[in-house]
């Protein structure tokens, strides 16, 4: 298949994915804004006043990057997981697989939709944070953009893998409930990992979300609990592993071919 066909197929899948979540924006874009507002009010305004500073920054300012990253992770994952599983459930994914469309193009189209939704939500949550924090500064814009793109790509791929294996709609909620939520809350969103005692700090550093949150925080505030080179290496490595996994599963027709 020529590059022009590939581009047309990619654009078609991507537009379809973006149109899908934009059409129901009240369900996809508004809830993150409301949820993050509650986090800012409870953890920032109420609890933050009692905590004081964290890593040399006011607590409210410290949690802004973590809350943005939390929304990016959740929305990129759920967008691809729900969309791909719906296509599988309605049996129209087979039409795409038998069409002259390469597997990388299919993956890129779905991931692109998750990426766009994650970036829009990130902007919305950032704007919400401006109403609570006056001095939200960006210290390293390049690291900031790179981290949010890589993270949303990673969890879009994770959502795709979950959808491939899922047999019912209930299977879509298992990973976010029992894996994503614990990893996110223990990933340094609300605290500095350096405050944890011995063994728990070691356990926390084994959490990949920690590296994503800290790389994003470094882009915003210029502070991080981990080396930025290590954080980016971890994120890129997981992206490669998840892409290869998704590619292999689609090539073999896992969860699709009976």
Q: Is the pLDDT of residue 34 over 70?
A: yes
Is pLDDT above 60 for 27?
Answer: yes
The model's pLDDT over 119-138, given as tens digits with 9 standing for 90+, comes to: 999 999 999 988 888 777 78
Q: What is the pLDDT of residue 190?
A: 87
Q: Is residue 189 part of a domain?
A: yes
> Residue 258 domain-assigned?
no
Q: Kindly tell me the sign of the dihedral angle through the C-alpha atoms of 203, 205, 206, 211.
A: positive
pLDDT at 240: 98
Q: What is the pTM of this model?
A: 0.92
Q: Is the pLDDT of residue 44 over 80?
A: no
Beta bridge partners of 54: 57
In a domain, 207, yes or no: yes
User: Is residue 3 predicted with pLDDT exceeding 80?
Assistant: no
Mean pLDDT value of segment 143-153: 96
The pLDDT of 69-79, averaged and rounded, is 95
- Strands 57-58 and 53-54, how do they pair? antiparallel
Asked, for residue 229, whether it belongs to a domain, the answer is yes
Domain span at 185: 3-252
55 lies in some domain: yes
Q: What pLDDT score does 258 carry?
A: 53
Burial of 244 (0-12, 13-18, 19+ CB in 10 A): exposed
Per-residue pLDDT, averaged over 22-38, amounts to: 91
Give residue 117's pLDDT band: very low, low, confident or very high (50, 70, 90): very high
Average predicted confidence (pLDDT) for the chain: 89
Residue with tokens 């971890």: 234
pLDDT at 6 over 60: yes
Residue at 257 is within a domain: no
Please write the tens of the pLDDT for every residue from 155-171.
Answer: 999 999 999 998 888 88
Res 14: pLDDT? 94
Q: Select the more confidently predicted residue: 88 or 49.
A: 88
Confidence category of residue 257, pLDDT binned at 50, 70, 90: low
Is pLDDT of 177 > 70? Answer: yes
Rounded-to-integer distance, Cα 98 and Cα 93, Å = 9
Region 173-200: mean pLDDT is 86
CA distance 32 to 26: 10
As for how many domains the chain has, the answer is: 1
Q: Flag whether pLDDT at 1 surpasses 60.
A: no
- Look at residue 234 and tell me if it is in a domain: yes
Q: Residue 91 — very low, low, confident or very high, per pLDDT cuts 50/70/90?
A: confident
Q: Is residue 177 part of a domain?
A: yes
Distance (Å, whole) CA 181 – CA 92: 31
Encoded tokens for 110: 């779905």
State residue 57 phi and psi, 5-degree precision.
-125, 150
């Amino acid at each position: 298949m020529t590059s022009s066909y590939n581009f047309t197929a990619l654009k078609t899948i991507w537009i379809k994915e973006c149109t899908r979540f934009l059409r129901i924006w009240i369900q996809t874009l508004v809830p993150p804004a409301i949820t993050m507002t509650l986090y800012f009010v409870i953890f920032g305004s109420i609890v933050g006043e009692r905590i004081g500073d964290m890593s040399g920054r006011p607590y409210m300012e410290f949690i802004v990057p973590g809350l943005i990253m939390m929304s990016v992770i959740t929305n990129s994952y759920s967008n691809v997981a729900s969309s791909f599983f719906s296509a599988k459930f309605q049996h129209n994914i087979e039409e795409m697989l038998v069409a002259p469309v390469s597997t990388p193009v299919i993956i890129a189209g779905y991931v692109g939709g998750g990426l766009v939704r994650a970036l829009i939500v990130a902007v919305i949550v950032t704007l919400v944070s401006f109403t609570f924090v006056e001095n939200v500064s960006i210290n390293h814009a390049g690291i900031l953009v790179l981290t949010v793109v890589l993270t949303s790509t990673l969890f879009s791929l994770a959502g795709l893998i979950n959808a491939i294996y899922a047999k019912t709609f209930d299977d879509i909620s298992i990973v976010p409930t029992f894996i994503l939520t614990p990893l996110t809350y223990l990933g340094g969103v609300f605290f500095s990992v350096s405050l944890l005692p011995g063994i728990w700090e070691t356990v926390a550093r084994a959490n990949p979300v920690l590296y994503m949150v800290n790389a994003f925080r470094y882009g915003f505030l210029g502070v991080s609990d981990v080396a930025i080179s290590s954080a980016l290496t971890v994120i890129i490595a997981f992206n490669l592993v998840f892409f290869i996994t998704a590619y292999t599963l689609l090539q073999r027709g896992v969860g699709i071919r009976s």
